[in-house]
């Protein structure tokens, strides 16, 4: 009976030793084994793995990509406008041994990433005007690419075992105390541009109207000139036809002209004194 406590103690020790002789590696993580603080091996595949109890220690590091969201940071642009910059970084541990030797923990690794991203973003934005930063079609796309490339190079040069996948600027907002003044200035600028467009439109309208009026006058003058030419040609042709016709019978022409003069002379029933033997009166009295 006196040996039962001894056996119980040995059993407990055996359980503790057995529990510390194995560890589980899960999907999506590295298991790094160290012995007295020195790196010995890495397990990347999931499963149950042995270790020396109380001598070897196991640290877990994420294998998959991680997203680090930086806190909004105030930065001055090239044209001295204060803005709040919010960005995120996609990264992963590429070399767990280097990472564990240099950074130890994920939290410290993210703090170093945050510092590198801040330095690059601050330098880039301080070289860029605010209007270019907020533009959707100009600087934003290139800026993200340049920042991601420089941060990736900085992390690689530091030998932290980290690979930067991407860095993106989510938003670039003005501080609340500056927004209204900037908005008012933007409204004023847009109104000035609109007024300029309206002035240019009015001037162009006047030019088009003046040209149309001038073209209409020219067309009308040309039409009148052509009409006069046509009338003159017609009258000339009519005179020619009359001359040909009257030249064939001069006596008939004289009679016709005399009858026409009667129509003019006797309008209004005037009293005309003519000798009876006057040539002009012969047709009226029917004498030969």
**What pLDDT, in 10s, does the model give residues 265-276?**
667 666 666 666
Listed residue (30, 86, 18, 94) closest to 58, CA to CA? 30
The pLDDT assigned to 83 comes to 80
Does residue 220 sit within a domain?
no
The pLDDT assigned to 131 comes to 74
Of 151, 174, 197, the position where a domain reaches its end is: 174
The pLDDT assigned to 90 comes to 93
| Statement to judge: residues 48 and 81 lie in one domain | no
* Cα(196)–Cα(191) distance, integer angstroms: 9
Does residue 197 sit within a domain?
no
**Whether pTM exceeds 0.95:** no
Does residue 116 surpass a pLDDT of 80?
A: yes
| Statement to judge: residues 122 and 51 lie in one domain | no
Does residue 121 sit within a domain?
yes
- Output the domain CATH number for residue 77: 3.30.479.30
Does residue 189 sit within a domain?
no
Does residue 243 sit within a domain?
no
The pLDDT assigned to 215 comes to 87
Residue 280 contacts by C-beta under 8 Å, 6 or more apart in sequence?
Answer: 258, 274
The pLDDT assigned to 126 comes to 84
**What pLDDT, in 10s, does the model give residues 177-224?**
555 666 676 787 788 888 888 888 888 888 898 888 888 888 888 888
The range of the structural domain enclosing residue 273 comes to 249-285
Decide if 169 contacts 85 (C-beta within 8 A). Answer: yes
| Statement to judge: residues 90 and 32 lie in one domain | no
Does residue 101 surpass a pLDDT of 60?
A: yes
| Count of structural domains within the chain | 3
């Amino acid at each position: 009976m006196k040996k039962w406590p001894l056996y119980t103690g040995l059993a407990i020790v055996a359980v503790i030793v057995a529990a510390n002789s194995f560890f589980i590696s899960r999907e999506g993580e590295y298991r790094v084994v160290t012995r007295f603080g020195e790196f010995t091996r890495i397990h990347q595949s999931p499963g149950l793995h042995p270790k020396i109890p109380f001598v070897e220690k196991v640290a877990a590091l994420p294998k998959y990509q991680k997203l680090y969201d930086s806190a909004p940071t105030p930065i001055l642009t090239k044209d001295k406008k204060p803005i709040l910059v919010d960005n995120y970084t996609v990264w992963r541990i590429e070399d767990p041994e280097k990472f564990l030797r240099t950074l130890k923990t994920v939290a410290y690794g993210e703090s170093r990433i945050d510092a590198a991203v801040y330095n690059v973003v601050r330098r880039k934005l301080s070289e860029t005007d605010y209007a270019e930063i907020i533009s959707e079609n100009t600087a934003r796309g290139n800026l993200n690419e340049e920042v991601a490339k420089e941060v990736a190079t900085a992390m690689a040069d530091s030998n932290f075992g980290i690979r930067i996948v991407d860095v993106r600027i989510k938003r670039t907002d003005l501080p609340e105390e500056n927004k209204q003044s900037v908005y008012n200035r933007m409204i004023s600028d847009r109104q000035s541009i609109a007024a300029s467009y309206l002035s240019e439109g009015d001037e162009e309208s006047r030019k088009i109207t003046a040209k149309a009026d001038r073209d209409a006058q020219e067309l009308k003058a040309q039409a009148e000139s052509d009409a006069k030419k046509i009338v003159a040609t017609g009258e000339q042709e009519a005179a020619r036809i009359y001359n040909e016709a009257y030249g064939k019978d001069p006596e008939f022409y004289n009679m016709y002209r005399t009858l026409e003069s009667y129509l003019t002379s006797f309008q209004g029933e005037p009293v005309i004194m003519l000798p009876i033997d006057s040539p002009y009166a012969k047709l009226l009295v029917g004498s030969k």
